[in-house]
Structure 1
Amino acid sequence: MDMQMPEMDVLAATRTIRASGGAWAEIPIIALTADASPERRRFYQGVGLTDFMTKPIDQAELAAKLASIREGGEGPPVAASDRLP
């Protein structure tokens, strides 16, 4: 998710998802931001994100993060009937 989405930023969205309970509360969330300052990185660590990346996105880094999430088993198994549209 992008840090600055319209209507609800990633911090509010993450808090809402994590508080929702059920399988979706554990879904991995990677935030995307242009702000890479050390202060912001520390701030982002406490909001329930799985990880975050700075823009522009490095495709190899993103692939590695996704592979790590998949291998680590983070997030719930999602049945086809439960997938988001």
Structure 2
Amino acid sequence: MGFDQQGTLVICVSPGLHGRWDVSEKGQDVPLASFDEKEDAYAYATQLTKSRRDATVLVEDEEGFSPLLAEDHGSTRRPRN
């Protein structure tokens, strides 16, 4: 699994090929899933982390990666625009 140095599961949502959105574990080259809509990718990523209190979802945009805000965890809203 994609863990950081503290043992936290890290799931990343980032732009993929052909306008799709990929969900992958941190440090892995092959995505776990790919979606046409970014909201679907966010929903899938947060679902993967629901059973882990120490899990984090990172969302990539033109400024780099940022964490999905705690109050948004489990929703499909972006942390910032």
- Give the alignment's TM-score, normalised by structure 2: 0.31
Higher helix share: 1
Higher strand share: 2
- If asked which structure has higher relative contact order (CA below 8 Å, sep 6+), I would say 1
- Give the alignment's TM-score, normalised by structure 1: 0.30
**Larger-gyration structure (1/2):** 1
